Chains A and B, each alone.
Chain A
């Protein structure tokens, strides 16, 4: 947990992962003296520590042929029809990828991943994890990646904070409702919600309206002023998110004139955790959760409680399952006993 979101250090660069299938050739290791584990480890490292870009795609067609045949024969065993891989092994052109092209699609994956994780994207992260040696081409790479995201996924890349260089992906198609089918089980992409949950958490799990606006104002979000991404924030916080059970908005007890406070709603408790919210806040401040020791402690405790609850639930399920199978076994043996008595 400690190193989950360390903004510094740790070779978590995407470049340490295979960016080209060419290196599969390096993977063939001589057998014999090498122990199985060491051979495996070397293979994995050869695949994963490749930094060589600008590679041709020719070799990859061989592997893709293999992939396609796996897919096809899988289809044969399951359903007759089925979408096959669009990688046609007979395609003749070796798509020559320039290093810049590779950076573009790696950035696309990175941005998509951040979008799915509902994490903000900082320029620093992009430079460190993806762009690396091509810093001078940052804007070009980002622009091309953004174009792909817009045209193919309908996602808009916007700079949320021009000073901290934080970017966010906005869903052009459904600006208010994201990632939900009918059984909506994911948080709206709005980073704003994570921020709000963070504020509440850091104010001892209950933030007054004044405290909330104080923080949001610092981020350039004002009640009554329509934000270009979030719309009108006050309605969002006090009505929309409350209706969706992400937030609780209630009067401070015995307050006269009435003042109001925010708490986490049941859906927030169900869909995220104190640790994840703390991670989000830490990320925005370009640091790690453990930099906030008190909150970090509380978040850790929350994680432990959740783990205990999960273990208890598992135990209950296992107990129910074995009780059920014992009951079934009883039924079956009685059935066989009764049937055998009727030759």
Chain B
């Protein structure tokens, strides 16, 4: 039986070898990976499954796989973490835009808890929703009644599965969730959703202009104002009052041997 992706298609479809398959397996297991890890992963797969082949350029490698994944309405999507601009990759589901990936493993009331948390996060100024505020909504959940204590554990489960991230008692979306659900979020909250003025992507965390209110992602700000000693709002031209973050530099990161959990603090600009 010829698989459907090889039938009657005039588009160029990539060839899958064990190198690509193993890469997909591992990427899928991790859910989301940073670019550096993705490159290591790619090299590992070549080493194990086709050590004589030349390692293909990452972009082509991924495009190749994506052309095969098209028939399943999945793709390897590239994004950037909102807080420090790290490039990340995740396998996302294109056909089902909502909480589909979660649905098999979570009960109705748990999914509803996630939706409530999501709403609070989107509506918040900072992109974070406090644990207290989320837990106060347990009475409104659909499905079986959930106690606050249970809800706390469910929230931890979301963190474990990389849907939410917790920082000091507050929750925001994991970068993987943003990649996976951006479309869904934009469709279900078209009025409340925030968008970056520079890249026009969905914005959960970012900086805003205090005069005109436009918002920008931290990595977008970093790039836009890089080596600009007098940063001004791209929209209203007013002085940009916030600290400008550094542009993410993978080389510097690796040399300094900084572990992932120990992020560099924002450096203030030199006056």
Interface set of A (CB-CB < 8 Å, partner B): 1-4, 6, 10-12, 14, 16-21, 24, 27, 36, 40, 43-44, 47-48, 63-64, 66-67, 69-71, 73-79, 81-87, 91, 101-102, 105-106, 108-110, 112-114, 116-117, 129, 147-148, 151-155, 171, 173-174, 178-179, 181-182, 186, 303, 307, 310, 314, 318
Q: Which of B65-118 contact A (CB under 8 A)?
A: 66-80, 85, 87, 93-101, 103-110, 115
Shortest CB distance A341–B (Å): 18
Given contacts A12-B107, A78-B80, contact A173 B49 (CB under 8 A): yes
Separation of A49 and B123 alpha carbons in the complex (Å): 24
A181 & B40 in contact (Cβ 8 Å cutoff): yes
Interface of chain A, helix or strand or loop or mixed? helix
- Given A44-B115, A78-B219, verify A87-B70 contact (CB < 8 Å): yes
Known A20-B95, A36-B192, A73-B201: A81·B59 in contact at CB below 8 Å:
yes
Residue pair B96, A110 in contact (C-beta under 8 Å): no
Bound CA–CA A255/B269 (angstroms): 70
B97 lies within 8 A of A181 (CB)? no
Contacting pair A77 B62 (CB below 8 A): no
Across the A-B interface, the 9 shortest Cβ-Cβ residue pairs: A154-B21, A77-B199, A86-B66, A3-B107, A179-B29, A83-B62, A78-B80, A17-B100, A77-B220
Q: Across the interface, do A74 and B21 meet the contact criterion of CB distance under 8 Å?
A: no
**Bound-complex Cα distance A138 to B108 (A):** 26
Chain B: CB-nearest residue to A275: B153
B37 interface residue, CB < 8 Å from A?
yes
Q: Which of B181-189, B207-215, B230-238 contacts A (4 or more CB under 8 A)?
A: B181-189
Q: Of B16, B48, B200, which one neighbours A152 at CB under 8 angstroms?
A: B16
Q: Select which of A40, A48, A151, A307 is within 8 A of B98 by beta carbon.
A: A48
Evaluate contact between B24 and A181: CB separation under 8 angstroms. no
Q: For the complex, what is the distance from the CA of A306 to the CA of B1, rounded to whole Å?
A: 50
B217 CB-CB contact with A under 8 Å? yes
Q: Shortest CB–CB separation between residue B138 and chain A, in angstroms?
A: 13
Question: In angstroms, how far is the closest chain A Cβ from the Cβ of B71?
Answer: 8
Q: Bound complex: CA of A44 vs CA of B112, how far in Å?
A: 11
Query: Looking at the complex, which one of A71, A148, A314 makes contact with B78 (CB distance below 8 Å)?
Result: A71
Known A18-B98, A77-B198; contact A307-B70, beta-carbon cutoff 8 A:
no
- What's the Cα separation between A175 and B107 when bound, in Å? 32
User: Which one of B11, B154, B201 has the greatest number of beta carbons of chain A within 10 Å?
Assistant: B201
Q: List 17 A-B contacts (CB under 8 A).
A: A3-B109, A3-B110, A14-B100, A17-B96, A21-B95, A64-B94, A67-B94, A71-B77, A73-B201, A76-B199, A77-B80, A77-B196, A78-B80, A83-B59, A109-B101, A152-B72, A307-B156
Give complex CA distance A91, B48 in Å. Answer: 36
Given that A17-B103, A186-B29 are known contacts, is A173 also in contact with B21, CB under 8 Å in the complex? yes
Chain B interface category by residue count: 35 or more
Alpha-carbon distance between A231 and B16 when the two chains are bound, in angstroms: 28
Residues A116 and B28 in contact in the complex (CB < 8 Å), given A3-B107, A43-B187, A78-B223? yes
Cross-interface CB contact of B95 among A19, A40, A114, A307, cutoff 8 Å: A19
Contacts A14-B104, A21-B97 supplied; 16 other A-B pairs, CB < 8 Å: A3-B107, A14-B103, A36-B192, A63-B183, A74-B79, A77-B223, A82-B78, A83-B62, A83-B63, A85-B75, A102-B95, A151-B16, A154-B25, A171-B25, A179-B25, A307-B152
Residue of A nearest to B102 (CB): A113
Whether a CB of chain A sits under 8 angstroms from the CB of B18 is: yes
Distance A87 CA – B74 CA, assembled complex (angstroms): 10
Q: In the complex, what's the smallest C-beta–C-beta distance from B263 to chain A, in angstroms? A: 11
Q: What residues of chain B lie closer than 8 Å to A310, measured between beta carbons?
A: 156
Complexed CA–CA distance, A314 and B165 (Å): 13
Most buried by A among B44, B199, B224: B199
Please report the C-alpha to C-alpha distance between residue A19 and residue B103 in the assembled complex, in whole angstroms: 13
A14 to B104, alpha carbons, bound, how many Å?
A: 7
Q: Which of A47, A79, A173, A178 contacts B184 (CB 8 A)?
A: A47
Also in contact, A1 and B63, with CB within 8 A (given A36-B192, A63-B183, A83-B76): no
Q: Mark B165-206, 1 if CB is under 8 A from A, else 0.
A: 010110000000000001110011101100010111110000
Q: In the assembled complex, which residues on chain A have CB atoms less than 8 Å from the CB atom of B71? A: 105, 148
**B37 CB → nearest A CB, Å:** 7
